[in-house]
A and B are shown apart, each in its own frame.
Chain A
Amino acid sequence: MFAQLIQDPAKINYVENPAKPPEIDAWGQLPKLASTFDHVDGLFYFTYIVCIFFFVVILGALLFSVVKYRRKTWDQPAASNVTHNTPLEVVWTIVPLIIVMIMFAWGFKGCMDMTVVPEAASRNTYKATAKQWNWTFTYPNHATPSFNEVWIEVNKPVQFLCESTDVLHAFFIPVMRVKRDIVPGRFQSVWFHPIEIGEFHLFCAEYCGDDHSRMYAKVHVVSAEEFATAPWDKWDDTTPALAAKSGESLYKNLCQTCHSVNGTPAVGPTWKGLFTKQGDTFVGRQREVIEGGAKKTITVDEAYITESVRKPDQKKVAESPYDKNNMTAFPDLDERRIKGLIEYMKSLAAAQ
């Protein structure tokens, strides 16, 4: 029983190859990498300073009193028996009221600027689909989507229309100061204006189940020239070996969260032993599946794998816990990429 509770050290349990950490300023804060940050950071520093001021005042008064008015003999009465002071009480009611009203007005103004999508951003609209536990990005005017990685052009305002196909998620890019919960059944929009080239974190910020912490995407902010080459649409499958290599990187990006290649049990069945090598040909293994409630045995082949990627519930592996666990469907994954994954599965057999 405990084996299921305690982590298997062999299981890679973190995000592989995340973006480099952003540089941190003297205040311990993130750098300014989007034009939207001014709305947040100006007020953040203002509230920060106000809070530090009040904290120092309170702490100072407290420590001064404790040192000066410490009880020296057990029956010492207080130095003063004052019960109230109306002018003082009015002052410490009114002054904080004025300060927090400034914070409120400033915050609301900034919030409106951050949530009302400008015309330029709405002409550059991406779609972000969040599922347990991965991200799919679809680009404006480009048919090929990308998974757990997204490329955007620098100095060009961008809008993301976010949707979820299962539970709550949240779209959070810390350096851009944007966050939006993604509610299933609705489109939620966020926009920002990246001003510096680089690679940044995109986290899921709303708890969404087992692998919430591994629901990570890398944001590439690139120059207009590089963007024009559509870096996400590079897929080298000129030879089976190169296709397997492309497949491997897609596996690491997308499939590794739930499927191991070394036989370690995970959310989904392992890919180890799907194919075996006999001479020069690869033979798929026999597998018990449930289709339409009935058990049957099939041979693993390209058609089965393609179907399992696009409609995973069609044939479920008849083995606990895989008969219960649901896989997210990837209907957008094109033929070439599925071929690449299959080449990768075959290369696993070849390596043995």
Chain B
Amino acid sequence: MSTNVPVIDAHPTISEPPKNYLNCSRGFMSWAGTLDHKRIGIMYLIGVSAAFLAGGVFALLVRLHLWEPHGMLFTNETYNQIFTLHGAFMVFIFVIPAIPGSLGNMVLPLMLGAKDVALPRLNLLSFYLWCGGTLLATLAIVLGGFDTGWTFYAPYSLYTDQAVVSIGLGIFLLGFSSIFTGLNFIVTTHKLRAPGLTWFRMPLFVWAIYATAILQVLATPVLGITVLLVAFERLYNIGIFDPRLGGDPVLFEHFFWFYSHPAVYIMVLPAFGIISELVTVHSRKPLFGYKLMAFSALAIAIISFLVWGHHMFTSGQSTFAMFAFSFLTFFVAIPTAIKEFSWVATIWKGSIALNSPMLYTLAFLIIFAIGGLTGVILGALNVDLHLHDTYFVVAHFHYVMMGSIALAFFAGLHHWWPKMFGIMYDETLAKIACALIFIGFNATFIPQFIMGSQGMPRRYATYVPEFEGYHHASTIGAVILGSGVALMVYYLLASLLIRKPAMQNQWGGVTLDWLTPTPPPLENFATPPSVTTEVYDYSTLDYESLRTPVR
């Protein structure tokens, strides 16, 4: 554990700290106009964190309102707007861009041994598109809000008198931000690998970001077209989805889920990548079944294009479609199971450090097991007919989206925080926050599994009284979860003021990202690195770097 490391100050003389990407230039424009992938990563980090906190406040309002069966706080219309805002902010503005935008930008070029991403200007553009999309979404709140749910199902989204066009255009811009990021990472992975860094020597985080990028580029345009069609339909009544004009609302569902199912994997694959990195570094052991892990990331990416119909088992699609989509859905379970088993096998007989990134990783492994297994329950056709659109589904996707993806994001943030800033946060507080988040999260969503299987429908502003006890448990859990997140925000921000120096190689990683100075200089590597060993070979670990503090 890091606290046991005897500190040897290798540079006792006081001198100017070396130039790195943080202190090489100053001023607002040196950040706003930067082409450096690390600075863009930090700007993304600030942006997506703000979106996460906003979405979290909406979530807490939803949970507080549901304390009483007739709804404690809001009118039904306001409640509907708040759960829609929670969903839209969390999905489109936080989860989709969070890991690729912040940690992907920060770490991917470092792991590849590159100076920057292949297309730095496009990288900055995609950040500003993200800002534009977020601005339009926020504008939609000012214009009166939107109450369609984050899924925008037609025809309700066509008839409601709210700011659907503004949020639609916001999502259109966010989509392009995502496409450009994906394009950039594909080119970077193909073109900028260091000499000797063959495909099967790449860290799994790179594989995961690469598989994600393929999905982003291929699936997101469909979402863009769909929201544009909804906007045209509202403005010009063209009659594609509106049954009153001869349109088909189920067509909207097909279009929407053709993107939004792969989007689930756009969100979760980078999380898998982070966890793959962290289990090996903090167990100091090569990743178990590396090749099968890499192929399963690609398999998930490909199969995820063919399962969108499982969101529509109750919508009256043809029996043949139900057959095919259920069959293919079960296939996604296989590469996902392989990943979970391989992570556990990596930890087995490792040298396991129970520091905060690893605690977040262990929390992920437990929560993702539940999230994945309940997905199998929902994949079974007739069981889904009962559970569809109930709190069971809500709990399942929160186990994946919040419990797995957000926790992996936190794990990655704690893991690379010392690399990004050269400073350490308070480890004790970090462990307490992790425990609060883990307990609070499970207390929030386990009651929702039970309620859902008893028939509590989702998106209800009020409910029949027998569910009150479960809603109480869930709301208490949400408050615990919220306090854990608040504590995390506190100690991370405090670490920027306290400035306790981190070690050059805080956790003992052997991938290229840990072999540059900490924090990295402007163009990452003083001399272009070359790779001669297999990936995750801990016999090459330079233990001296674990106790050399950052200057």
Contacts and interface: CB of A to CB of B under 8 A. Distances in A.
Chain A complexes with chain B: yes
Interface string B155-185: 1100111000000000000000000000000
Contacts of B374: 51
Nearest to B156: A167
B385 A43 contact: no
Nearest to B313: A111
B208 to A, nearest CB: 18
Given A7-B73, A28-B453, A54-B373, A82 B349 contact: yes
Interface residues of A, number: 99
B389 A78 contact: no
Contacts of A58: 340-341, 344, 365-366, 369
A92 B287 CA distance: 16
A163 B290 CA distance: 53
Interface residues of B, number: 106
Contact of B454 (A29, A65, A107, A324): A29
Interface stretch (A94-102, A276-284, A344-352): A94-102
B160 to A, nearest CB: 7
A49 B369 CA distance: 14
B505 to A, nearest CB: 12
Interface in B73-109: 73-78, 80
Contact of A209 (B147, B384, B386): B147
Given A6-B75, A66-B362, A89-B338, A172 B455 contact: yes
A183 B376 contact: no
Contacts of A232: none
A301 interface: no
Contacts of A216: 464
B521 interface: no
Interface string B364-407: 01100110011011011111111011100000000000000000
Interface stretch (B110-118, B270-278, B315-323, B409-417): B315-323
A104 B389 contact: no
Contacts of A92: 337-338, 341
A69 B352 CA distance: 6
A61 interface: yes
A112 B78 contact: no
A103 B330 CA distance: 9
B39 interface: no
A156 interface: no
A24 B4 CA distance: 52
Given A66-B362, A84-B288, A174-B454, A211 B382 contact: no
Contacts of A210: 76-77, 80, 147
A184 B249 contact: yes
Contact of A207 (B156, B315, B330): B156
8 contacts: A80-B348, A96-B334, A107-B381, A108-B326, A180-B316, A205-B314, A208-B156, A213-B461
Given A107-B382, A111-B385, A207-B80, 5 more contacts: A14-B70, A92-B341, A104-B380, A205-B390, A206-B389
Interface of A: 4-8, 12-15, 18, 21-22, 24, 28-30, 39-40, 43-44, 47-48, 50-51, 54-55, 58-59, 61-62, 65-66, 69-71, 73-85, 88-89, 92-93, 96-97, 100-101, 103-104, 106-108, 110-115, 166-168, 170, 172, 174-175, 177-181, 183-186, 188, 201, 203-214, 216, 324
Going nearest first, the 10 A-B pairs with the smallest beta carbon separation are: A174-B455, A110-B382, A21-B466, A107-B380, A185-B243, A213-B460, A111-B381, A14-B70, A78-B285, A51-B373
Interface of B: 1-2, 4-6, 69-78, 80, 147, 149, 153, 155-156, 159-161, 243-244, 248-250, 283-292, 313-316, 319, 322-323, 326-327, 330-331, 333-334, 337-338, 340-342, 344-345, 347-354, 362, 365-366, 369-370, 373-374, 376-377, 379-386, 388-390, 450, 453-455, 457-466, 538-539, 543, 546-547
